[in-house]
């Protein structure tokens, strides 16, 4: 037990090297800082491991091979990732092109159209969409979407199927984050424009959405980041042939799918080349994070 | 005339978008449940898979899922609570340390799950020598759900600033305030955050296929490989011709457990109106 004298005279925030410290308190402070360092270490660890894993392939083939090689035969020294990068971008951009506008409309609905009950109910719908596992989306895409597309344009497993499945998965992210951005606007903005005689649609389009531009853009960026990293749902519906995405009905392979498909049997340089795929993916996501920071939207509530 | 129509058209577009989203959700859930629910029975939940999963049940898969998510939550709880208490108690909100920690958690939250799989494979399976095991998979998932659980815990802790100040006014030492006042007060939020993490963990497949593996036997310990529900669905759908029926049945079980989590999360934390993305 510490004496009551030290307890009462202690300043509210404990500093490590100032004033008398009971041993227990010192241990507590150390544990506290250790857990903070652990959180930082977790992120650093993931990135460092990714770099270490990529090193053998990068030293053996060089970064240039991953960009310049035309084909992906990692066991025969062909490391071209460009087709897969293009496919990843195409699927994700397509998904965002669908989910972005839809998600913004959903956010507007919750904020300015729905009453309390309808808004809360629709939020539950969005949360459910966000909570459905990606393999379930993939299963649905395989058994419903792909046969429909195949009846129209065989073989069905295609970029288009990937875009549709992914847009459903990204929509709740965009909608919820955009709604959080709209919520942070001062109420006077919308009410004031109504009071000045603006129609509701004009107030939303011209005043509200243009004021929340940053937050909405940030929501879309985060949605795009989600789309880039999505593995299984896309893998199950896009066919996974390594090819440039030259038509919506072409079979393509995305970067995360490439890792998931080949990691099970890859060894040595091949395995390392898959880590380089992960590095490329991480670089794309990192670029988006930087862009999002530049636009400076609302901080994601939990993202 | 044209200008008068515009409000109606705009309203229509908004409501049509919302209706489309609701319909898509209904269509997906209905499709999975109608094809899967008939196959879900007590036997399905309690017997082992036969014929590569085409027949039989999912008992070992359920056990592995519980084990992997259990390991993940047990490892993520102290990490997340520690990071949150660090952010609230040890550093000021705008100091370099706080911004760095929060930034790192933000980056971690944006890391694609397949990259967690790569990192987990190298750290836990290779370097620490766990091999393909439930432990390796669970720890990988713990890294994955750390940022979201920490973020929820931090916001909840900050809501109880008044209790915290009252504690300091009474002259309590910091560790007493954290242990006896803040953590109990924030417990519902912390568990809601873990519930969110559970939702992530149980839905995950990309981070698990090469950390916990896809052995379908009943695991004896956390050092055995075991496949989770999501990985089982993936395997049945992709690699087992004629596995569709049991894939849908497993998906129904998975959806039911996720729905239970969403309901629990809403009940625990619904009044705060937090977002579940």
B140 and B159 fall within a common domain: yes
CA angle B26, A107, A281 (to 5 degrees): 80
Type and span of the H or E element at A153: none
Type and span of the H or E element at A82: helix A82-108
Q: What is the pLDDT of residues B113-170, one digit of tens each?
A: 999 999 999 999 999 999 899 999 999 999 999 999 998 899 888 888 888 888 889 8
Closest CB to B203 among A133, A201, A259:
A133
Residues 44-103 of B with CB under 8 A from A: 78-79, 81-83, 85-87, 89-91, 97, 100-101
Name the CATH topology of A83-263+282-295: MetI-like fold (1.10.3720)
Listed residue (B257, B186, B159, B197) closest to B77, CA to CA:
B197
Query: Is there a contact between B261 and A127 if contact means CB atoms under 8 Å apart?
Result: no
Listed residue (A234, A215, A252, A117) closest to A170, CA to CA:
A234
B155 and B222 fall within a common domain: yes
Which residues does chain A have within 8 Å of residue B89's beta carbon, measured at their own beta carbons?
A: 32
Tell me, yes or no, if B262 comes closer than 8 A to chain A by beta carbon. Answer: yes
DSSP codes joined into one string, B202-234:
HH--TTTTTTT----SPPSSTTS----HHHHHH
B23 and B73 fall within a common domain: no
Listed residue (B108, B124, B172) closest to A2, CA to CA:
B172
**pLDDT value for B167:** 87
Q: Classify residue B195: in a domain, yes or no.
A: yes
- Asked whether A170 and A164 are in contact (CB, 8 A), the reply is no
Which residues does chain A have within 8 Å of residue B113's beta carbon, measured at their own beta carbons?
A: 229, 231
Q: Classify residue B277: in a domain, yes or no.
A: no
Count of domains observed in chain B: 2
pLDDT tens digits in sequence order for chain A, 303 residues long = 444 445 555 555 555 444 555 777 788 888 889 988 999 999 999 999 999 999 999 988 888 888 888 888 888 888 889 999 999 999 999 999 999 999 999 999 999 998 889 998 898 899 889 889 999 999 999 999 999 999 988 888 899 999 999 999 999 999 999 998 898 889 899 999 999 988 888 888 888 998 888 889 889 998 999 999 999 999 999 988 888 888 889 899 999 999 999 988 888 889 999 999 999 999 999 998 888 877 754 444 433
B18 and B132 fall within a common domain: no
Tell me, yes or no, if B139 comes closer than 8 A to chain A by beta carbon. Answer: no
Which residues does chain B have within 8 Å of residue A85's beta carbon, measured at their own beta carbons?
A: none
**pLDDT value for A156:** 85
B24 and B74 fall within a common domain: no
Task: Give the number of other CB atoms < 10 A from CB of residue B264.
Answer: 15
Tell me, yes or no, if B212 comes closer than 8 A to chain A by beta carbon. Answer: no
**pLDDT value for A214:** 86
**pLDDT value for B59:** 92
Closest CB to B115 among A106, A281, A303:
A281
With CA atoms as reference, the chain B residue closest to A198 would be B7
Residue ranges making up the domain that contains B143? 43-272
pLDDT tens digits in sequence order for chain B, 277 residues long = 466 787 788 889 999 999 999 999 999 999 999 999 988 989 899 888 888 888 888 999 999 999 999 999 999 999 999 999 999 988 888 888 888 999 899 899 889 999 999 999 999 999 999 989 999 999 999 999 999 999 889 988 888 888 888 888 988 888 888 888 889 888 888 888 888 888 888 989 999 998 998 888 888 888 999 999 999 999 999 988 888 889 999 999 999 988 887 777 777 765 554 554 5
B129 and B20 fall within a common domain: no
B48 and B20 fall within a common domain: no
Burial letters A91-108, b for 16+ CB under 10 A, else e: bbebbbebbbebbbbbbb
Tell me, yes or no, if B162 comes closer than 8 A to chain A by beta carbon. Answer: no
- Asked whether A283 and A205 are in contact (CB, 8 A), the reply is no
**pLDDT value for B23:** 95
Its pTM stands at 0.88
Phi and psi at residue A184, to the nearest 5°: -80, -10
Give the mutation candidate from A24, A42, A147 for the B interface (greatest B CB count, under 10 A): A42
CA gap B227, A137 in Å, rounded: 19
- Asked whether B113 and B141 are in contact (CB, 8 A), the reply is no
**pLDDT value for A92:** 96
The verdict on whether omega for the bond into residue A155 sits within 30 degrees of 0, i.e. cis, is yes
Residues 203-242 of A with CB under 8 A from B: 204-205, 222, 225, 228-232, 235-236
With CA atoms as reference, the chain A residue closest to B79 would be A35
B59 and B32 fall within a common domain: no
B116 and B63 fall within a common domain: yes
B34 and B153 fall within a common domain: no
Query: Is there a contact between B111 and A180 if contact means CB atoms under 8 Å apart?
Result: no
Domains of chain A by residue range: 4-61, 83-263+282-295
DSSP codes joined into one string, chain B:
-HHHHHHHHHHHHHHHHHHHHHHHHHHHHHHHHHHHGGG--HHHHHS-EEGGGTEE--HHHHHHHHHHHHHHHHHHHHHHHHHHHIIIIIS-TTSHHHHHHHHHHHHHHHS-HHHHHHHHIIIIIIIS---S-HHHHHHHHHHHHHHHHHHHHHHHHHHTHHHHHHHHHTT--HHHIIIIIIHHHHHHHHHHHHHHHHHHHHH--TTTTTTT----SPPSSTTS----HHHHHHHHHHH-TT-HHHHHHHHHHHHHHHHHHHHHHHHHHGGGT----
B169 and B226 fall within a common domain: yes
CA gap B276, B262 in Å, rounded: 9
B156 and B23 fall within a common domain: no
As beta bridge partners, residue A78 has A73
As beta bridge partners, residue B50 has B55
């Amino acid at each position: 037990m510490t004496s009551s004298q030290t307890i009462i005279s202690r300043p509210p925030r404990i500093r490590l090297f100032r004033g008398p410290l009971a041993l227990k308190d010192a241990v507590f402070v150390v544990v506290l800082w250790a857990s903070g360092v652990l959180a930082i270490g977790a992120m650093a660890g993931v990135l460092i491991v990714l770099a270490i894993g990529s090193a053998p392939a990068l030293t053996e083939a060089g970064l240039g091979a991953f960009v310049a090689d035309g084909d992906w035969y990692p066991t025969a020294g062909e490391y071209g990732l460009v087709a897969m990068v293009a496919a990843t971008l195409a699927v994700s951009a397509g998904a965002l092109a669908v989910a972005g506008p839809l998600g913004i409309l959903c956010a507007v609905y919750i904020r300015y159209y729905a009453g309390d009950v309808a808004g809360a109910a629709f939020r539950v719908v969005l949360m459910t969409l966000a909570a459905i596992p990606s393999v379930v989306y993939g299963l649905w895409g395989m058994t419903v979407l792909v046969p429909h597309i195949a009846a129209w344009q065989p073989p069905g497993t295609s970029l288009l199927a990937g875009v549709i499945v992914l847009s459903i998965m990204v929509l709740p992210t965009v909608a919820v984050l955009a709604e959080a951005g709209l919520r942070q606007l001062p109420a006077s903005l919308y009410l004031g424009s109504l009071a000045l005689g603006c129609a509701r649609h004009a107030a939303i389009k011209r005043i509200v959405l243009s004021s929340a531009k940053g937050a909405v853009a940030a929501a879309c960026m985060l949605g795009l980041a989600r789309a880039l990293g999505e593995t299984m749902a896309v893998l199950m519906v896009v066919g996974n042939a390594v090819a440039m995405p030259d038509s919506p009905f072409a079979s393509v392979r995305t970067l995360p799918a490439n890792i998931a498909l080949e990691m099970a049997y890859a060894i040595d340089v091949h395995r390392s080349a898959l880590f380089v795929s992960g590095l490329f993916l991480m670089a794309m996501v990192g670029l988006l994070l930087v862009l999002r920071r530049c636009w400076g939207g609302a901080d994601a509530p939990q993202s | 005339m044209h200008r008068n129509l515009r409000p109606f058209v705009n309203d229509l577009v908004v409501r049509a978008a919302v209706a489309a989203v609701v319909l898509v959700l209904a269509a997906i859930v209905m499709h999975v449940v109608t094809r899967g629910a008939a196959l879900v029975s007590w036997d399905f939940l309690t017997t082992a898979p036969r014929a590569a999963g085409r027949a039989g049940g999912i008992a070992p898969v359920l056990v592995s899922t519980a084990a992997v998510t259990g390991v993940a939550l047990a490892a993520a709880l102290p990490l997340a609570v520690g990071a949150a208490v660090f952010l609230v108690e040890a550093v000021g909100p705008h100091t370099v340390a706080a911004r760095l920690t929060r930034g790192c958690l933000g980056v971690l939250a944006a890391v694609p799950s397949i990259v967690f799989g790569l990192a987990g494979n190298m750290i836990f399976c290779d370097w620490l020598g766990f091999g393909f095991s439930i432990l390796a998979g669970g720890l990988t998932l713990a890294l994955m759900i750390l940022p979201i659980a920490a973020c929820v815990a931090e916001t909840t802790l900050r809501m109880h600033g008044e209790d915290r100040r009252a504690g300091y006014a009474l002259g309590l030492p910091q560790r007493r305030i954290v242990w006896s006042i803040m953590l109990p007060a924030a417990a519902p939020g912390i568990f809601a955050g873990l519930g969110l993490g559970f939702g992530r963990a149980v839905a995950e497949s990309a981070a698990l296929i090469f950390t916990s593996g896809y052995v379908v036997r009943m695991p004896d310990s956390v050092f055995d490989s075991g496949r989770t529900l999501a990985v089982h669905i993936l395997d049945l759908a992709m690699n087992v011709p004629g596995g569709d029926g049991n894939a849908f049945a497993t998906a129904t079980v998975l959806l039911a457990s996720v729905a239970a989590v969403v309901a629990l999360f809403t009940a625990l934390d619904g009044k705060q109106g937090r977002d579940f993305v």
